[in-house]
Amino acid sequence: MHVEISIKVNGQMVKTHTAEVAGTLEEMEELTHALGKKAACDALQATVNVDQSPRPLFRKPARTCVTRAIKAAVSSGLTGR
């Protein structure tokens, strides 16, 4: 089976991924999943390349990045002490 994923940004073709998918259902699923991940990466990169407006690289963290699980592990002596 021939699978093709085309990526357009602002109406312009950026990239086309094509693959032949065959085999067992599990193999077909793995191949299409990998093809989708490649397409997602290329779509993200294309949108970053097109949009040159200044923006932070990462979102700002909440008050603290520490979760309750981490606090519990640290306070219970997960370090072996």
pTM above 0.75, yes or no: no
Question: What is the sign, positive or negative, of the torsion defined by CA atoms of 25, 30, 34, 40?
Answer: positive
CA dihedral 8, 29, 34, 52 (to 10 degrees): 30
The per-residue pLDDT for range 24-75, each reduced to its tens digit, is: 999 999 999 999 999 999 998 888 888 777 777 766 666 666 566 666 666 6
Domain extents in the chain? 2-75
Write out the H or E segment, with its range, that includes residue 69. Answer: helix 68-75
